[in-house]
Structure 1
């Protein structure tokens, strides 16, 4: 298991650049990553940005919501829902994406690829 200290963290934007209940896209080590700020707690989540069914880098533009206790984003193309904690595609698990570590440090949002 990788610890936070041994991960390679990449700064992607200022903490205030992500509006509540929205996502942004960043290129992290050549990977398109969608970073979301969600809910009252303003929790941050990061998943792959490419919709595996469409092959388009669009998940950061999806609608954020919940299905039961799961916080999800709906792909703007095929409307599949992706769990923001795990990257699992609710409707078609074979289309799941990776979830990445995300944190704020000194006012910057940092992402470490899974």
Structure 2
């Protein structure tokens, strides 16, 4: 997979997209409702950011029943995966990333147990 450094860093330059990517690095896959709940943005805004991440090649999506799940694209080059890992390591324990994680962990009705959206 070819992905340019410009597209990677452009995607990382937006706070909402970066917050999504940090959660996705920490999780196997998340649905739109989980990301919306954790980050606290309206669903249309979240969907727009996820579409940009998908178009850039950073995330892949998969439909499971009524939900669409997003995950870090497994075809990413090693250097991109390392950038995402290091970014998550550096900021994952600080606000707002830590708060996003806490909201996600406290979310009732996560997929598999019924979606809260």
Q: Give the shorter-chain TM-score range.
A: under 0.3
The structure in which a higher percent of residues are helix is: 2
The structure in which a higher percent of residues are strand is: 1
Name the structure, 1 or 2, with higher relative contact order (CA <8 Å, separation 6+).
Answer: 2
